[in-house]
Structure 1
Amino acid sequence: MNKKPRYLQIVHWMREKIEQGEWVIGSKIPTQREIAEKFGVNRSTVITAIEIVKSEGLLEGKTGSGIYVIHNQWSLNSEMSPPDWNDLTKWSLQPSSVHTVQLINELETRKDLIQLSKGELGPDLFPHSEIAKAMGAVSTQIQDFGYGDGLGDLELRKEISRHLQKSGIKIKPECILIVSGALQALKLITVGILKRGSTVFLENPSYLHSVNVFPAEMTIKRIPVDGNGLRIEELFQQTFTRNASALFINPTFHNPTTTSMSLEQRKILLEKCQHYKLPIIEDDIFRDLWMDARPPAPIKVLDKNGQVLYIGSFSKTIAPGLRIGWLAGPEAVIKRLRDVRMQTDYGSSYLSQLLVKELLASGMYENHLKNVRTILKERRDYLLQLLTLHLSDVASWSKPSGGLFIWVLFKKKINMQKLFKQCINENVLINPGYIYHDHQSSIRLSYSYASFEEMEMGILTLKKSLLDVV
């Protein structure tokens, strides 16, 4: 047992972090609250420790910003300074996520928070028995743990080809590229297909505004989404540059608004895009999570000219940890992106590919989906009931027919950053609409992860927090 006073334990811990290079010069240290929680002490103890390390010349406070590392023992004793990694990262090609998104990514791993933000299935919906059976089956099928050819396991691509036929998409295995989730597919397209200086037309709001997929050299044009999906008439008021423009669209159970375009709207969109020779990247990762009725056919079904690149994923339907998705398109495009992929990471996990292949081939995936849809529908209906009971006087929403979320719009303007922080203080995590570039007072609530009891507690906490920020 460490008999050293707690404040000295914290001092030693901070010195060690700095000396070992875990906290580099220029980096911001954790907040007083985070350190206090880590060591189980009050903030005054943490402040005492910080002041000691400050007096040693290692830390410095910046008003309204936090405490930063300004030296380590080596730099204090040397005329030469180490590289300022914090400054270098500011000029990297890949920009940082906005602070709220970074915070959400960190907090989504905490077990003590009610997770009304997560875009994934809860642990109780993970197909434990199916995965176990698939593991047993593939253990005798493992032939090679090499890098592969970059396209992905052929048998998996054949199964995905068969799976897509159920939605009306007829595409051969050689026109399918296995990727590590939908975001990698999008990244490969921006790097391998789009030109420097291209214009990307993107739905607004969109989950893609919460991540930095597109290089800074590309121009983002935001097209509003309403209850019928993308406002097509506003898209075609824009100017398009041939071979230097593309449309990214999530037309089925759109994230975050949950809307779906009608089949008629999809036909109109494709016809107009064909006229303007505007490529379409269709993100359809939520399609299998329909509840009330099957959604309209993918835009890719209507595509006879190879104008649509189609993205799917098993992250939302099985588990994100498998990191298996796919990109389907013309063979020439797939060959090009295969080459880019081989320059990046040589392919997705071989074992994960075999597992997903077995789940598809055995029929276990379809059986799993039936169970998931039933439970998600129950949870969706329960969350809708809670919203009606507790928030109907201050907010509005629509009933999603699939996916994982409910999009909530508040009737009065609210300080959303303050609401977000207040909910965290009360151990509830939500996704505020502003991370999706929505300028309304809005939040995205998930019904896929939290239990019924947690959802009720979360909505009651949200109701209380609203009173505190108004």
Structure 2
Amino acid sequence: MKKVPMYARIAQLIRQKIDRGEWVIGTKIPTQRELAEQFQVNRSTVITAIDILKSEGLLEGIAGSGIYITNNKWSLLSSVSPPNWKELTQWAMQPSSDSTVQLINDLESRKDLIQLSKGELGPDLYPHVEIEQSLIKVSRQLKEFGYGNGLGDRGLREEISRHLLTHGVAIAPENILIVSGALQALKLISTGILNKGATVFLENPSYLHSIHFFRPEEMAIRPIAVDRNGLRLDELFQHNFLKHSSALYINPTFHNPTGTTMPAEQRMLLMEKCQTLQLPVIEDDIFRDLWIDEPPPPPLKALDIHGQVLYIGSFSKTIAPGLRIGWLAGPESVVKRLSDVRMQTDYGSSYISQLLVREVLASRLYEKHLIKVRGRLKEKRDFLLYLNRFHN
């Protein structure tokens, strides 16, 4: 049998993706370099395959942009064009991520790179033994696989309530909502609590600048500078705050991406002022348990006497991101409202993941794991500082 040239095989594979609707009209195909890496060929082979598809009317190059799908075999045979999904998605409510963020997302799955962008533990620091032990125990406790009531497993919420008490936050399980990570908590707040057209104040720089979280709800974003003490309070309180139309999103402990931690005195000043202004606060505190030299000051939620702080935490950074278990703590009425909104989308986080995290917390394996992680993080931090001094 005659061997099919590689360029012809590549052209056929691309043609199949187009014909099956996997790559629709308007889609930008991977770059020549990406295709060459995927098929482990020279770029000249990829260029030959693309030229064939261009001659068939399936692809078209746009200078400075890339190569796009312009037709499929059905559109070439019919006078009726299929829907232009690219045009439709361009005007969708949720905008696309920035190109840099998309590139980072694509690179995050590569095993040959050290992942720094996600702010998570490396594979060598995941609690493999603790998770295995907890899974064995949990497997004997499985009784139901339903959706639950939307708030999350009662036992897990009780364990999180106990854990938060060690940070000075006294909050009942009824005031805790289990979510599939901190991002879902923020999405629920943006759609279920904040008004359309509201003003959200947040740190500059901030992680949220990269994901356009509040843009679909047409909210105004007001960046506030960050210095070595965290959020610049003088700059924040120069603004006018409209009641029921303003909120502050803040990451005061091990801030992403600067790493700064707001001192206790500044936290007290911030909360006193926010209480006077009746300014709602969204506190993102997902890195708290990963301190190295000494514990950080208590959360803003620990200073909250009026129930104006919505407190977000997650086990993605301390146990494993794949579990997708986090929480949101706040006034019971707010938690019930967000639970209702959540039930309109996915009915709740993974039941097995909830039981697993509950067991890790209840067995005190979590505290033992954190002690080991902090020790290893300190070693890695000190080694990087040594290398920096050595090279300088």
Tell me if both proteins adopt one fold, taking TM over 0.5 as the criterion.
yes
Quote the Cα distance in structure 1 between the aligned partners of 2:197 and 2:115: 39
Quote the Cα distance in structure 1 between the aligned partners of 2:357 and 2:2: 48
Relative to structure 1, the CA distance from residue 300 to residue 122 in structure 2 (aligned partners, 3 Å threshold; closer, same or farther) is same
Aligned partner of 2:139 in structure 1 is 139
Encode CA deviations 1:299-351: one digit per residue, 9 max, x unaligned.
10011110111000000000110000000000000010010000010000000
Quote the Cα distance in structure 1 between the aligned partners of 2:134 and 2:116: 31
Q: Does residue 1:107 correspond to 2:107, yes or no?
A: yes
Q: Which secondary structure does the structure 2 equivalent of 1:318 belong to?
A: coil
Encode CA deviations 1:229-258: one digit per residue, 9 max, x unaligned.
000010000011100100000000000000
1:117 shift after superposition: 3.1
Aligned partner of 2:380 in structure 1 is 379
Aligned pairs for 1:215-364 within 5 A: 215-216=215-216, 217-364=218-365
Relative to structure 1, the CA distance from residue 148 to residue 246 in structure 2 (aligned partners, 3 Å threshold; closer, same or farther) is same
Structure 2 unmatched ranges of 5 or more:
none
1:113 shift after superposition: 2.8
Encode CA deviations 1:210-246: one digit per residue, 9 max, x unaligned.
1121134100000000110000010000011100100
AA partner of residue 388 (structure 1): R
Encode CA deviations 1:399-444: one digit per residue, 9 max, x unaligned.
xxxxxxxxxxxxxxxxxxxxxxxxxxxxxxxxxxxxxxxxxxxxxx
Quote the Cα distance in structure 2 between the aligned partners of 1:236 and 1:276: 10
Q: Which secondary structure does the structure 2 equivalent of 1:312 belong to?
A: strand
Quote the Cα distance in structure 2 between the aligned partners of 1:353 and 1:226: 37
Aligned partner of 1:54 in structure 2 is 54
Quote the Cα distance in structure 2 between the aligned partners of 1:272 and 1:112: 48
Quote the Cα distance in structure 1 between the aligned partners of 2:297 and 2:54: 61
Quote the Cα distance in structure 2 between the aligned partners of 1:161 and 1:189: 21
Aligned partner of 1:212 in structure 2 is 212
Aligned partner of 2:176 in structure 1 is 176
Q: Which runs of 4+ in 1 moved over 6 A?
A: none
1:123 shift after superposition: 1.0
Quote the Cα distance in structure 2 between the aligned partners of 1:389 and 1:25: 54
Quote the Cα distance in structure 1 between the aligned partners of 2:153 and 2:115: 35
Q: Does residue 1:69 correspond to 2:69, yes or no?
A: yes
Q: Which secondary structure does the structure 1 equivalent of 2:222 belong to?
A: strand
Quote the Cα distance in structure 2 between the aligned partners of 1:336 and 1:59: 49
Q: Which secondary structure does the structure 1 equivalent of 2:215 belong to?
A: coil
Q: Which secondary structure does the structure 1 equivalent of 2:93 belong to?
A: coil
The count of corresponding residues between Structure 1 and Structure 2 is 391
AA partner of residue 35 (structure 1): L
1:82 shift after superposition: 0.6
Encode CA deviations 1:251-276: one digit per residue, 9 max, x unaligned.
00000000000000000000111111
Quote the Cα distance in structure 1 between the aligned partners of 2:142 and 2:317: 26
1:388 shift after superposition: 3.2
Quote the Cα distance in structure 1 between the aligned partners of 2:266 and 2:185: 25
Q: Which secondary structure does the structure 2 equivalent of 1:225 belong to?
A: strand
Q: Does residue 1:84 correspond to 2:84, yes or no?
A: yes
1:17 shift after superposition: 1.1
Aligned partner of 1:130 in structure 2 is 130
1:2 shift after superposition: 9.1
Q: Does residue 1:98 correspond to 2:101, yes or no?
A: no
Structure 1 unmatched ranges of 5 or more:
393-470
Quote the Cα distance in structure 2 between the aligned partners of 1:240 and 1:106: 39
Aligned partner of 2:28 in structure 1 is 28
Q: Which secondary structure does the structure 1 equivalent of 2:200 belong to?
A: strand
Quote the Cα distance in structure 1 between the aligned partners of 2:215 and 2:65: 28
AA partner of residue 177 (structure 2): L
1:185 shift after superposition: 0.4
Quote the Cα distance in structure 1 between the aligned partners of 2:46 and 2:176: 54
Encode CA deviations 1:41-89: one digit per residue, 9 max, x unaligned.
1111111110000000000000011000000000011010110011111
1:298 shift after superposition: 0.4
Encode CA deviations 1:373-414: one digit per residue, 9 max, x unaligned.
111111112222223333x5xxxxxxxxxxxxxxxxxxxxxx
AA partner of residue 146 (structure 2): G
Quote the Cα distance in structure 2 between the aligned partners of 1:117 and 1:215: 22
AA partner of residue 293 (structure 1): E
Quote the Cα distance in structure 2 between the aligned partners of 1:111 and 1:123: 10
Quote the Cα distance in structure 1 between the aligned partners of 2:190 and 2:349: 19
Quote the Cα distance in structure 1 between the aligned partners of 2:351 and 2:211: 27
Q: Which secondary structure does the structure 2 equivalent of 1:188 belong to?
A: helix
Relative to structure 1, the CA distance from residue 2 to residue 27 in structure 2 (aligned partners, 3 Å threshold; closer, same or farther) is farther
Quote the Cα distance in structure 2 between the aligned partners of 1:113 and 1:310: 33
The RMSD of aligned alpha carbons is 1.1
Aligned pairs for 1:407-446 within 5 A: none
Quote the Cα distance in structure 1 between the aligned partners of 2:45 and 2:223: 48
TM-score (norm 1): 0.82
Quote the Cα distance in structure 2 between the aligned partners of 1:258 and 1:302: 22
Q: Which secondary structure does the structure 2 equivalent of 1:202 belong to?
A: strand
Encode CA deviations 1:132-154: one digit per residue, 9 max, x unaligned.
11011111111110010000000
1:297 shift after superposition: 0.5
Report % sequence identity.
Answer: 69
Quote the Cα distance in structure 1 between the aligned partners of 2:350 and 2:253: 28
Quote the Cα distance in structure 1 between the aligned partners of 2:310 and 2:5: 61
Q: Does residue 1:368 correspond to 2:379, yes or no?
A: no
Quote the Cα distance in structure 1 between the aligned partners of 2:385 and 2:27: 43
Quote the Cα distance in structure 2 between the aligned partners of 1:247 and 1:389: 41
1:111 shift after superposition: 1.7
Quote the Cα distance in structure 1 between the aligned partners of 2:124 and 2:3: 42
Aligned partner of 1:117 in structure 2 is 117
Aligned partner of 2:202 in structure 1 is 202
Encode CA deviations 1:80-109: one digit per residue, 9 max, x unaligned.
011001111111111100001001001110
1:159 shift after superposition: 0.2
